[in-house]
């Protein structure tokens, strides 16, 4: 589940020698080779700009004599089957970008190299938790965090000013008060569709709950725990302060189009949503602000789902050592800084979040990313999403059904799906 951020805030011009960059010594696999060692790297369409990838490729090859990179752009449509086939191939790629929540599914095939012994070398203690966790299955690190994106609150500064709201709220309760005040000004305080389950997940995590937990070798759905029900209660209170449909998600209708009409004060989205809003209504350009989703206390932003990408190395790769050098370079500080400034992504390291401080939207996103979480790390989680289990539960709870009873029923379905053997 990955969320494209649409606007780059600037291009960082680096010297041609930028490697992005791992060790400056020759690649272990290249030693003594008469011909270059060719590594195939799969990168997803629109993940990175051509300029950024070009700088990386030329810099990496300059600092790793004897290695040639073949960076191949992959389409999202059908990528799951293509990666699965690639992992089992005799001609497997050497490095693959995958959605962070897909790592468990691919690792279950046995075709992904375990990189647990490389975590310290890669600076793993500084990784964003919500990005690193999906790459770690049963205590072993298969996916290396690459970049992240998460939701923030986009707000209409003019409507805040007209309602006498001085600035963004700092806590969840203050957020409810501010939103109610915006409604009194004749506006829609917030547009929140009833099935925005990633936002619900954040409220559940804030309460100390989860969507599902693993107990020994078995999974258990946990939407019916007191913590998860408290998260749903807050979602219900917030959603009631707007006119969002209770039986649909943020894509139906496109929430950016709703906000663009000019009478909605707040929206939960990735910062890139502002681009779509301004495209639909150019009159809102310069009038949009951003703040992290508020948490229960002023000292910590609310929990958010961290979407993004990881890097994996197939077991079938014939160049494990050199492939690791590529991963190390792409996940390293130098490339992460270049990437963050050009692509407006959150870097994979907590300590690098400040690089985005010059842009209000990405700075808000980076602040929220420090409290990022991931969906349950099961190869079967995609089936839960496909069944719309959580969405259907939310609609029932928001339209008068007994929330606790519906949560128990949804939890039983999640338990069954996650424990199904493939």
- The whole-number pLDDT of residue 170 equals 96
Residue 309 in tokens: 């990408």
Give residue 6's pLDDT. 33
Q: Is the bond preceding 253 in cis, omega lying within 30 degrees of 0?
A: yes
Which H or E element spans position 95?
Answer: strand 95-99
CB 203 within 8 A of CB 235: yes
Are 251 and 322 within one domain? Answer: no
β-strands 37-44, 95-99 pairing: parallel
Q: Total structural domains in the chain?
A: 2
One domain, residues 236 and 331: no
Does 19 fall in a domain? no
Kindly state the helix (H) or strand (E) to which residue 147 belongs, with its residue range. Answer: strand 144-149
Rounded Cα distance between 205 and 372, Å, is 10
Any domain includes 388: yes
Same-domain status, 241 and 338: no
Tokens 């600076």 belong to which residue? 123
Name the domain boundary from 357, 373, 389.
373
- Note whether residue 95 is domain-resident: yes
pLDDT of residue 422: 67
Judge whether 103 and 48 are in contact, CB under 8 Å.
Answer: no
How does DSSP assign 292-321, residue by residue? PPPBSSTTSPPPEE-EEEEEE-BTT-S-HH
Residues 84, 88, 89, 93, Cα dihedral to 10°: 60
If asked whether residues 139 and 39 sit together in one domain, one would say: yes
For the chain, count helices (H), then strands (E): 16, 15
CATH of the domain at 348: 3.40.190.10
| Residue 229 pLDDT | 98
Q: Is residue 157 domain-shared with residue 43, that is, in the same domain?
A: no
Q: What would the DSSP string read from start to end of 189-218?
A: S-B--TT-HHHHHHHHHHTT--SEEEETTE
> Which position has the token pair 């619900």?
200
User: Residue 356, exposed/middle/buried by CB under 10 A (0-12, 13-18, 19+)?
Assistant: buried
Is 124 within a domain? yes
The answer as to whether 12 is a domain residue is no
Looking at residue 358, its pLDDT comes to 79
Which residue range forms the structural domain that includes residue 404?
152-305+377-418
Same domain, 220 and 275: yes
Residues 366 and 220 in one domain: no
Cβ atoms of residues 103 and 137 within 8 Å: yes
- How high is the pLDDT of residue 92? 94
Torsion angle defined by CA atoms of residues 288, 289, 295 and 298, in that order, rounded to the nearest 10 degrees: -150
266 with 403, same domain: the answer is yes
- The pLDDT value recorded for residue 340 is 87
Tell me: do 294 and 326 sit in the same domain.
no
The answer to the question of residue 4 being in a domain is: no
Question: Each residue of 258-298: pLDDT tens digit?
Answer: 999 999 999 999 988 898 899 999 999 999 999 999 999 99
Distance between CA atoms of residues 54 and 51, nearest Å: 5
Residues 54 and 156 in one domain: no
Burial class for 339, CB neighbours closer than 10 Å (0-12, 13-18, 19+): buried
Q: Is residue 1 included in any domain, yes or no? A: no
Name the stretches of the chain with pLDDT < 50.
1-33
224 and 299 fall within a common domain: yes
Rounded CA separation 213/373 (Å)? 13
Whether 20 is in a domain gets the answer no
Is 204 found in the same domain as 55? no
Three-point CA angle 183, 189, 193, nearest 5°: 135
Tell me how far apart the alpha carbons of residues 294 and 177 are, in angstroms, rounded to a whole number.
12
């Amino acid at each position: 589940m990955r969320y494209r951020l649409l606007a780059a805030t600037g291009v960082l011009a680096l010297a041609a020698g930028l490697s992005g960059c791992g060790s400056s010594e020759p690649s272990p696999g290249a030693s003594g080779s008469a011909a270059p060692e060719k590594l195939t790297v799969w990168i997803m369409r629109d993940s990175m700009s051509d300029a950024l990838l070009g700088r990386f490729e030329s810099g990496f090859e300059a600092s790793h004599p004897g290695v040639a990179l073949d960076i191949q752009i992959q389409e999202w449509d059908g990528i799951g089957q293509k990666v699965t086939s690639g992992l089992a191939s005799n001609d497997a790629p050497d490095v693959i970008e995958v959605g962070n929540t897909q790592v468990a599914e691919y690792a279950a095939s046995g075709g992904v190299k375990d990189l647990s012994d490389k975590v310290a070398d890669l600076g793993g203690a500084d990784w964003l938790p919500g990005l690193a966790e999906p790459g770690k299955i049963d205590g072993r690190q298969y996916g290396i965090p690459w970049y992240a994106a998460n939701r923030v609150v986009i707000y209409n500064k003019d409507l805040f000013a007209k309602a006498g709201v001085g600035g963004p709220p700092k806590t969840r309760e203050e957020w409810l008060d501010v939103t109610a005040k915006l409604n009194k000004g004749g506006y829609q305080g917030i547009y929140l569709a009833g099935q925005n389950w990633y936002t619900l997940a954040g409220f559940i995590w804030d309460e100390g709950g989860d969507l599902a937990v693993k107990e020994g070798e078995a999974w258990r759905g946990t939407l019916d725990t007191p913590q998860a029900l408290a998260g749903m209660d807050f979602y219900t209170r917030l959603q009631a302060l707007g006119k969002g449909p209770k039986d649909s998600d943020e894509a139906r209708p496109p929430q950016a189009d709703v906000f663009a009409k000019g009478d909605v004060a707040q929206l939960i989205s990735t910062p890139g949503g502002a681009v779509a809003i301004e495209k639909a209504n150019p009159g809102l350009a310069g009038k949009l602000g951003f703040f992290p989703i508020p948490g229960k206390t002023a000292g910590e932003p609310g929990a958010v789902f961290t979407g993004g990408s990881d890097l994996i190395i197939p077991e079938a790769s014939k160049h494990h050592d050199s492939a690791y050098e590529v991963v190390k370079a792409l996940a390293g500080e130098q490339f992460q800084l270049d990437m963050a400034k050009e692509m407006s992504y959150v870097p994979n390291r907590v300590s690098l979040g400040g690089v985005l401080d010059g842009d209000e939207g990405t700075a808000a996103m980076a602040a929220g990313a420090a409290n990022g979480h991931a969906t349950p790390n099961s190869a079967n989680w995609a089936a839960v999403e496909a069944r719309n289990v959580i969405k259907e539960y939310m609609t029932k709870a928001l339209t008068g059904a007994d929330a606790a009873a519906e949560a128990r029923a949804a939890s039983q379905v999640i338990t069954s799906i996650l424990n199904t053997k493939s």
